[in-house]
A and B are shown apart, each in its own frame.
Chain A
């Protein structure tokens, strides 16, 4: 008996040993540090934590805990994490529970894994949830106490405006809308966001681009009559289907494009549509007569007939010539006033009937570039101009914004100075000193001396504003009277910039700037009132585009190209709808100040006809988006969105691993480490059709892979009912989908709804990850373990209101790292 018993113990140890080895890979990850949740939670109903019931003192959690933290670590952790095995590069047998803050980096990692239910791993002895919660609370409160006594804060840093910030700043300064993406290159990201001070460097080619952008922007801003004509081409994507109505185009049309364009001056412009020509320049569908309509702001300005026997024949005989001739008919040359106008070019819709060749046409129209059969489609529209510009463009919105005074006779200089200092104060996010004003106005004077007009003078000075380091960089500096290494509150003006770049990705508006100049922003009430005002402003949509766009990887949707052979229905219309849906959900959470958890379990969403069809939601017609209730439990929240489901797939199949990794990284904040370098080949028999599950299971039999894949795969497998473009399916490779899997904490899930519910068992884990991301974005630098006490501070307050979006933003705005700094030593 005794012999048998000890043998059994040995076997248990052997199993644990294998586990430890497998986990080496898991925990060795040292890149993104951030820990999970510190909120002590009531331990009672252990199996099912209440959604969010914050408790302010640790004492409330204590009664349920039965094992002291140090005993718990000894009993459950050091079996693997000891000096000898160093599983996951972590040894806890030497770690001092009595001096946690000294090894905070390690303990934050421990807390994060435990909090997310990933440690101890399934299959090894596990303490009660209450004991685990108590351990985490013990660790985190020790770290937080130490941080409160001696805050870890950064020094000042220079942030270059990134491309979106530059674009928004120009928009807000001059009331113009320009395609800045064509003027400036995309920025590098670090820690997941492209507003990170470390990587926002400057190069000569970038400097060159700033200089040429300054010429362009300043010319448009003053509506200079000297702007030389140029060509702007707007292409219709090849994978945009044009057999039906396209959002933004007039009712009763099909296909085409809507162009929102800022016309710089009152002048004549030429609009030239071009039809799609297949590989030998044949224009499709000419056997029938068609009409192409051009409108500006909803008014028809051109209608041209084409097609029919004559055009068809000409096109076959001399494709290029005939095409060019037809396009001349479409061309419109006309006077257009300065400002933003919507130009549309579309076909008059004749019938919804599609071509006869296919019994069941694909969703995507132009899937074959060779066939001459089909309907005419728009390929591109060129805008050319300005021609014969007005000397003064009275209708220019930017002139109205900039020219805050009219120069009276002999008073030119005073008015110019007023115009320029007003614009520069906003551009520089603060007042100008005397030397700066002199230099700025000097540009105006110089231009006038050379014989330039008043407008020319203003334009010359604005160019200087646009390449000035005070505009291009957000400069922070230690005040002269602060001793090195001292913690101090940042000046109100810097705080105003931090707020506006955080919430609007742009410069402060006049109200915020004035509050800062008057020194009122340091008053927490004023601060909170400003934050709430800013969140209600339309400019806060920048949070969806830039924060959610990057945090959730939504920006990847535009680069995702599913294989048309596998997904013949996927077209650009759907791609755009995917991105829009998720952005709109995020915007609704900001606007309606909902709990951020809504992102995961919203019982509503936003669809248009194309997307509704994709999801099988009936009775949605037309291309405009509208809010609809989500009745299918599997579709609730972003894990049921086509955007997330497709950007986590390969272009020809799903990838449960990628989906699992996405949930671990972007939702739970526990990214798995990179795969080991030498990935052993899967044992696959060529030619044998295997289901995804079979293939993955063979993968997990390899101990080198198992550690991480046991975390990732079950999550991804639970989502297998969604195909590579997020459409519901019940079979894969002919085999029925089995979406049942066991998560790392032992929970069994059987599909997307169950997975979502399992994730929502720990809403605090999600909220914490989002807060950490929002912190990173707000501060523009990587959040490390040393910042975690502040993240927890924000969460603690936010949890009381069930994580309303505004509470996270207000919390961050009031946090120490946002408000204070340590001077350079």
Chain B
């Protein structure tokens, strides 16, 4: 079955899960999926969550006028070309202590992170949507980042474990999802890593099936022996084994559904950050296009990022620049960085706009939340967070608006509204006290 309307040259695409590809169909493992019934007439929605650290300069971010046809502020200028799809939301807030860890942790969870030795947050909005929409894709969600947290030692010392800063996606209150920084790895997951023939792939498929069965038996045996606390970890392991089996089956089914051409294999992590970001965006666009996933999250940079941007004339690190102490020349640098981030995001949006999907473009069918979990880099606060929505959400989102909420409206209200857009029926999320009228 071809999902996309436009005829794309059907070529055999090496597809992946690394080495594991194409399994005999085990129907019992395929979850009931609504989206399989989707036809080009009822387009598939895609969701994306793009994080930038260290807040923004809000007086240069917030448009002066409310409502439709607002004038784009200096920082938001790069998005002007997408006016009909852009909604700027002001006065949304998270309630919690100020700080970096809290900023990235609360952004998509609306939950204040647990201090001390145990991880506890909340299932993030991207994962809620992934559960709802992801059943018909190989990857219910994909998580991306650009900075290697293992060379940021010491940045998260204090009350909060590092996971709160290394990822914005949590599959459950205790399961942070690692974000992938290597484009090569993303590529191999999507398209496979070597040049196996269809026969070889089929053989691997069968092997994997019995491999995972046996692994499950071993894990079950082990589960009987360990203590209560560790049973949870083994159970997690078993859940993941099951999910992999599903993905393998799904990957095989999808081989006949779409045909996107695999680009050249990326070499690894580019030295140049801009190239890195663009490559990640490109892979995200491909994953949406091939319906490999419908939900992504992306930390363009992390809290306490040490990245500097000499290419736009900001040689100081982003973190020191965000501590601008209201010194005009430092503030100007922070504005430059924020505009630069939005420039790159706008290039991605443009690509989505140019990619046909069903009766419209990928951008018409997507909804992106772009913003930061911090407001002001000096204070590390979460009042009036820089927040915007972009995309048509398959008819569920109308842009060209600047919505000014009552002061300190919970950001969680927006998350509830985004979940509405995805068709998730729920009354409460994180710190929500209601909804944002979109």
Contact = CB atoms under 8 A, between A and B. Distances in A.
Tell me if chain B binds chain A: yes
Interface string A276-295: 00000000000000000000
B152 A556 contact: yes
A157 interface: yes
Contact of B244 (A211, A229, A665): A211
Nearest to A648: B154
A186 B150 contact: yes
Interface residues of B, number: 93
Contact of B117 (A213, A216, A782): A782
B408 interface: no
Interface string B45-79: 00000000000000000000000000000000000
A192 B219 CA distance: 30
A211 B380 CA distance: 41
B18 A477 contact: no
B221 to A, nearest CB: 7
Contacts of A566: 315
A686 B327 contact: yes
Contact of A824 (B148, B229, B234): B229
B196 interface: yes
B150 to A, nearest CB: 4
Contact of B327 (A194, A469, A677, A681): A681
Interface in B151-166: 151-154, 156-159, 161-163, 166
A468 B378 contact: no
Interface string A454-498: 000000100110011110010101100000000000000000000
Contact of B218 (A470, A478, A553): A470
B162 A190 contact: yes
Contacts of B210: 443, 446
Given A199-B162, A677-B380, A212 B178 contact: no
A523 interface: no
Contacts, number: 251
A131 B126 CA distance: 59
Contacts of B222: 469-470, 475
A473 B156 CA distance: 26
A824 B228 contact: yes
B184 interface: yes
B316 A684 contact: no
Q: Determine the interface band of chain A, counting residues with CB < 8 A from chain B.
A: 35 or more
A447 B175 CA distance: 36
Contacts of A157: 229-230
Given A207-B240, A477-B225, A229 B211 contact: no
A201 B176 contact: yes
Nearest to B233: A158
Interface string B186-225: 0011000111100010001001101110110111011001
A564 B195 CA distance: 41
A797 to B, nearest CB: 28
Interface in B107-153: 117-119, 143, 147-153
B178 A206 contact: yes
A674 to B, nearest CB: 5
A556 B154 CA distance: 9
A666 B157 CA distance: 11
Interface string B224-239: 0111111001101100
A395 to B, nearest CB: 23
Contacts of B218: 436, 439, 468-470
Interface in A620-656: 650-652
Contacts of A237: 271
A122 to B, nearest CB: 25
B327 A228 contact: no
Nearest to B150: A186
Given A215-B204, A380-B267, A651-B308, A185 B161 contact: no
B150 A555 contact: yes
B149 A186 contact: yes
Contact of B316 (A155, A229, A650, A782): A650
B118 to A, nearest CB: 7
B234 A182 contact: no
A677 B99 contact: yes
A684 B193 contact: no
B157 A198 contact: no
A157 B230 CA distance: 7
Contacts of A682: 325
B117 A565 contact: no
Contacts of B180: 185, 205
Interface string B18-52: 11100000000000000000000000000000000
Nearest to A435: B221
A603 to B, nearest CB: 28
B175 A677 contact: no
Interface string A771-809: 000000000011000000000000000000000000000
B381 A677 contact: yes
Given A678-B98, A684-B325, A185 B178 contact: yes
Contacts of B214: 439, 442-443, 464
B237 to A, nearest CB: 5
Interface string B256-296: 00000000010110010000000000000000000000000
Nearest to B241: A207
Nearest to B16: A212
Nearest to A572: B271
B80 interface: no
A530 B221 CA distance: 32
A203 interface: yes
A443 to B, nearest CB: 7
A699 to B, nearest CB: 10
Contacts of B212: 211
Interface in B163-179: 163, 166, 171, 174-178
Contacts of B328: 686
A442 B17 CA distance: 25
Given A216-B19, A463-B211, A203 B157 contact: no
Contacts of B158: 29, 31, 673-674
Contacts of A229: 194-195
9 contacts: A157-B230, A182-B182, A189-B150, A202-B236, A211-B211, A439-B218, A468-B215, A666-B154, A782-B117
